[in-house]
Structure 1
Amino acid sequence: MSGLPRLRGLNPLRLLSTNNNRGRFTYQQVPNGGNASPFDFQKYSWPSAARRISSTKLVALAIAGIVVVVLLAGGGYRGVQRHHDRPTEDEAPLPFYWQHYYRLNGFYNGVRTLVSAAEYVPENGYNISIPPTLEVDSGLEKSMSRLPKEPPIDPIKYDPYPFGDETYLRDYDQVHQCYLDAEEKTPAPDVYAYPAVPQHMALPLFGDYKELGMKEDVCWERFGRLGAYGYGYGPAEGGTGLGNDSESAGSEKVFERVGHVDYRGMDWGAAQRRCYEKNERRFREEQPSGKKRVQRHAYVLRTWTGYHYSEQQMLSLRAMINELSLKSGGQYDVHLLVHVKDDHIPIWASKDLYRKTLEENVPKEFWNISTLWSERLMEMYYPEPFPDNFANMAGAGIHGVYRSAHFALQWFSQQRPEYDFYWNWEMDLRYTGHYWEFNEKIGDWGRRQPRKGMWERGRRFWIPELHGDYSNFTQFVERETWEKDVAANDIERSGPVPIWGPVQQFPHTGMLSPPNATIPPSSYDEDEYTWGVGEEADLLVFNPLFDPSLTNWVFSWDVTGYNRSLPIPPRRAAIITVARLSKRLLDTMHRETWQMRHTMFPEMWPPAVCMHHGLKALYVPHPVYFDRDWNVATMDQSLNYPKNIWESPFGWGEHNLLGSSFYYNSGFSGALWRRWLGQSENGEGGGVSEREGSGRLCLRGTLHHPIKHENGPTE
């Protein structure tokens, strides 16, 4: 082990680069030094990460924290420190044990290292081997002069749409092509990907592309992904000017096919409306042709007055609208749900004032896809009283966006009831892959899932390297459920175990009845994983559906409208409010709110309503990458089996996810995204590094969160 401190910082691309600083990975150095406690909310945030808890909210936590530290000083922190398989180190101690794992560098291998699936060797050693040993027979030991000057493989048009297939046309009506302009001179553009991956790119630690039905042997670089939306050419041609001076070898092959699309004067609302009207027959309840009806989706992005729409943000919004709406023949509509932060503006009283507010706060090309709302409007729509709150740890009003962001989405679903599903999306999300493919494949996956064991599977991270494929994971969870949880019948914890149908057998003073369709047709034992197969999911989330009562998640008790003289209701939550919600779920949430005055913290309310009413709720196992070569057994213990509530990743153990590509406060996610954009991050990457090294990054489809800025240096 004595050699590990030296090897831990090695970079597999060091042999290809003249940059002497590539061995450092400074964004992972926690700002306040090496004595940070896992109980310290302030010290382990990256500079680029969102601050979840304000100083006001920490007042209440401070009191609890003092008690916690006193109670756990003898064992809690030492429990976090004791991990038998972590390397020892003579250097000053790092704040968290996972920072001792080897850095994975394959993310930063560029397009000049692209290889086919047959040649590809992932970098992951799962903390067993040292990653640099993978240089053997990889081709990366070649000198820089022997690497190709351009990507060795040509990009291909990426077309995941099945609309021309015979099997699709047997079931559904034809899709008519949509255009950006009313004159139909500019068709909705295509995007391009490489049918290869960079040598040694790491594999995800959570989730799997094959399980979701997505391609895993393709990668996306910025010109093929964003060139169709204004990246790589200047404003005089209708582009953004971004990327004009960046490393671009081979990008001309994209522009030869896509051209330079002119976005000056673009009206996305009009384009979406024309596309829907052209294909409207596909969405009718009654299909004259006898074919199947296509369900419609509202893709709702939550934004606010004063939000800065950067050029990078504009590219992402254009990609969403083009790929989800125009290329799908109107299957999706993209909406901006704009929070008017000034409650003194009566947007409901004057059309002129409404339009003035909108036009002052949203770029013109998105005016006609925007809907304004305010907290004052929510106060009128869901009027007081909202009694019997168990614990308002946020210290905010019930109608405030922080505690009740779902109010606006519930309201929107009542104003626009024509959709079957509503995607609750955040402005700080980015996706390197194709939006329609991602959305449709996870929807298909949700439809295939049985209800049996869905809550038990959904509360765990699926780690394929440890658990095997998802079928094996399903069997493992069932065995574990019966062996460990059959006696756990405490309603304050999780209700009957395993959960089967609506959970309403707990003391309460009133709740809406569950839909008849959610009553199990047989017992749990009799079902052979058939109930729910073919049924659309009411809720799809992107982090586990955990039981807040088994964690110290700070908002666990923000439950309103249930009699406080009775035990707090059983509930579930999923960190980050990003989700797909069915109309049935949103209608139930709406009715529970206005009729029963029930509500909870936003990340808890939709899962809890699903749990109480027997709706189908699933955690989507989308691929999530980590910046370190974790030992998967330790990861499983840390994330799925914390020794006590203080170590749960959904609370003070959340530091375990700081190095992931998707969590509410991930530092790695934003850093990797900016590197993908060609920017320098903490002295690594940027134009010179890409040109002198292996080229620009090419990543598989990855959901990144949070992206708090995209304006790093490019050299």
Structure 2
Amino acid sequence: MKLFPLRTHLSYERLPVYGDKRNVSPFSATSLKKYRWRSPSPGSDRLPCLRLSLSRCVVLAITLCLCLGLIATGGYRRRHRETQKKPPPRIPLPWEHFPRLNGFYNGVGALVKSDDHIPEQLAINSSTPQKPIDTQITPVFDPVPFNPYAEYESYEYLNDHHPVQKCYIDPDDKIPTPEIFAYPGIPQNMTAPFMGSYKELGLSDDVCFDRFSRFGPYGYGYNLDEGGLGLAEKSDKSGIERLWAQSPKIDYRGVDWGAAQKKCYEKNKARFEGNVTDEPTKDGKNPVPRQAFILRTWTGYQYDEHQMLTLRAMVNELALKTGGEFDIHFLVHVKDNSIPIWTDKEVYQKTLEENVPEEFWGFSTLWSEQLMRLYYPDPFPENLQNPSGQPVHGVYRSAHFALQWFAQHHPEYDFFWNWEMDLRYSGHYYEFLRQATAWAKKQPRKLLWERNSRYYIPSYHGDWQQFTKKVEEETYLDNETPVWGPVSFPNSKMLPKANDVTPPHSFAEDKYTWGVGEEADIITFNPLFDPSRTTWVFRDDINGYDLKFPAPPRRTAIITVARLSKRLLDLAHEETYKMKHTMFPEMWPPTVALHHGLKAVYIPHPQYFDRNWPLEYMDQTFNHPKKPFDSPFGGGEHNLLGSSFYYNSGFSGTLWRRWFGYRENNEGGTKDEVQGSGRMCIRSTLFHPIKKERGPTE
């Protein structure tokens, strides 16, 4: 302690300090040179035990050994007790006490017409005894083609649009695009979704898909030497001969989806002349909007056979069957920033071929974080908070940079779908995207942001008109100021607002008419909530706004899955490039829409839960949390673990693998299907996240 000049109530001898006593450390080179260490006292260099008798030294040694032994033994026993001690049992969360639902797992042998279907929740809550379900292994009905497309050859369509030229998979126009199939019924007591609505969105709710009818046309269920992907060696195959009789097997070896997609567009180029916002062309035909469907992938990603089925379905159902209305794109993140993909074509092609399956080379685009640093150069000043500690150009904090960059290089598209690789859809992709888009277009702007912030629970709220009225009442009772046009807030360095986003009249005068028929600039699949009212960890990850003022108002939709207009992405690009504004990826596009008065819509798609939630409690939990911490987008996010769609849902992967015929948690698989009602058959459902798709079949 003599070395440290500490101020205590004890008096320690201090080291002398030379020069400036306030600034010079006692351990500086100068002080150590000048200081002469005190000589030890006479005889202090001799061991103390040498001044003791031999017997005393022996006693001291034995005592020391005994003390060390006791200390070591006590430490070992304490550590042993700690390792053997069981952790206290985890207190179950409230929703874990709710009864489990099992109607998802009823199969094709229990199909009934939709009019005869009784949802599992209704059967559970009914006081009337339920009859046992009549089951068999073989499907009750034959699968039928599922066609959600417009009647392209009808007089009504051709009167408004140019004709659709048929597209093919192969360059010689000999392999037609396949159809997918559905069963015209629903397994009896199939569980109903708690949130969202098939009826409201106009999605088919009277059919279901098993794994063969959905993915058989893309190679599921037949061998590699036939051009398929297999995957069904141990699967129950009862009744699939009915499917193969209607859908011949396609040899997918050597298919170039990029070339097929490009040729399809060239055939149908006349359909897309002009822009979606333009007047009809000179020949009186209405142009069809062009849409880019972008899959965010990366170097090193493993493309499982199940993933290949999904990717083929996307290209066929969105691009080829629509006559080029969509283009599928891979936006491939090159993780190694040292690879000069923007300067060397050979390096670019080599990187592409090493990281993407050959059949998708033709529509893949590479990018890297280093490229984004060049495109959006530093500095990005005045960061409010950075909980992740990641750099602003890193994909974790700015995945939208690559999307903005892509949109600037592809002005031919009116809309851009940002899709993640761990999303799956059990229904038809075109039906889902078309109905989501059409529904969003019909939504009025009045109280739209307020409706967007809530989950729609039909069994509790009633129909959509009743839900709209309830949101209006709650807004007034809570004394909230509704969003009406672009929001104003104190800050500097803001881009000017467009003229067409100014409300045509006051909020009070509007009769839910403004915005009806207007395309949405952003469509999301989770609610658009105010992060400042939650404990969401990234709510203050904001860059470039003047910190002398309060943080700007903002909105967030968990999971970066959305449709974004070219107008929104152009504004986001200008905000980033000119003003150095950016936010966390799930917060940035919705906030740009909020600031600039653009139309934003949350789609209430059907969402399932694995437990039988009381409806009033569900509404309270998800729509009216008592504290910010309780929000499902904060400390209460555990409430969505048992749902079919959220960023960390556990049930989504379980249900998806069971549908594919794999065992999960010692349940399901071929044996259970054969002994029960056959293969699972589920309605159209959006799943997230799906981190793995394989499992044991036995």
The bucket for the TM-score relative to the shorter chain is 0.7 to 0.9
Question: Is 1:674 equivalent to 2:661 in the alignment?
Answer: no
The corresponding residue for 1:464 is 458
Measured in 2, the distance between the counterparts of 1:133 and 1:220 equals: 31
Map residues 182-581 of structure 1 onto 2, 5 A cutoff: 182-285=171-274, 287-486=281-480, 497-503=481-487, 505-581=488-564
What is the TM-score when the length of structure 2 is the normalising length? Answer: 0.85
Which residue is 2:93 aligned to? 96
Distance (Å, rounded) in 2 between the aligned partners of 1:264 and 1:657: 40
Please give the per-residue CA displacement for 1:410-442, whole angstroms capped at 9, x wherever unaligned: 000011111010000000000000000000000
Q: CA distance change for structure 1 residues 359 and 123 in 2, over 3 Å: closer, same or farther? A: same
2:130 pairs with 1:136:
yes
Structure 1 residue 170 displacement after superposition: 2.3
Alpha-carbon distance in structure 2 between the residues aligned to 1:105 and 1:215: 22
Q: Which one of the candidate residues 86, 109, 115 is aligned to 2:106? A: 109
Give the unaligned 5+ runs of structure 1.
Answer: 1-90, 487-496
Name the residue aligned to 2:138: 150
Deviation at 1:135, TM superposition (A): 6.7
Higher RCO (CA-CA < 8 Å; seq separation 6+): 1
Cα deviations by residue, 1:88-127 (Å, 9 ceiling, x for unpaired): xxx97752110111111100001100000121000114xx
Runs of 5+ consecutive residues of structure 2 not aligned to the other structure: 1-87, 275-279
C-alpha distance in 2, partners of 1:134/1:258?
43
Q: Percent identity?
A: 58
C-alpha displacement of 1:353: 0.4
SS at match of 1:422: strand
Structure 2 letter corresponding to 1:464? P
Q: How many residues align?
A: 605
CA distance, structure 2, for counterparts of residue 315 and residue 136 of structure 1: 39
Report the equivalent of 1:698.
681
Structure 1 pair 299/440, CA: closer, same or farther in 2 (3 Å)?
same
| Deviation at residue 148 of structure 1 after TM alignment | 3.4
Partner SS state of residue 425, structure 1: strand
**Is the alpha carbon distance of 1:133 and 1:164 closer, same or farther for their aligned partners in structure 2, counting shifts above 3 Å?**
farther
1:32-88 CA deviation, whole Å, 9 max, x = no partner?
Answer: xxxxxxxxxxxxxxxxxxxxxxxxxxxxxxxxxxxxxxxxxxxxxxxxxxxxxxxxx
Matches of 2:137 and 2:485, distance apart in 1: 59
Give the secondary-structure state (helix, strand or coil) at the position aligned to 2:121.
Answer: coil
Provide TM-score, normalisation by structure 1: 0.83
Contact 1:189/1:258 (8 A) holds in 2: yes
Partners of 2:129 and 2:181 in 1: how far apart? Answer: 29
Which letter does structure 1 place at the counterpart of 2:483?
Answer: I
* Residue number in structure 2 paired with 1:616: 599
Cα RMSD between the aligned structures? 1.4
- Cα displacement string for residues 647-705 of structure 1 (whole angstroms, at most 9, x for unaligned residues): 01001100011100000000000000000011000100011111121111111000000
The answer to whether the 8 Å contact 1:123/1:134 transfers is no
Could you give the per-residue CA deviations for residues 189-246 of structure 1, whole angstroms, max 9, x where no partner exists?
A: 0000011011111111111011111111110110010011000100101000111330
- What amino acid is aligned across from residue 260 of structure 2 in structure 1? A
Separation in structure 1 between the aligned mates of residue 332 and residue 676 of structure 2, nearest angstrom = 43
SS in 2 for 1:540: strand
Structure 1 residue 166: deviation in Å? 3.2
Say yes or no: does 1:629 pair with 2:623. no
**CA contact 2:136–2:676 (8 Å) conserved in 1:** no
Aligned pair in 2 of structure 1 residues 485, 166: CA closer, same or farther (>3 Å)? farther
SS in 2 for 1:485: coil
Instruction: Give, in whole Å, the separation in 2 of the partners of 1:223 and 1:278.
Output: 31
Structure 1 residue 258: Cα displacement = 1.2
User: Matched residues in 2 for 1:135 and 1:654: separation?
Assistant: 36
Aligned AA (1:233): Y
Residue in 1 that maps onto 2:621: 638
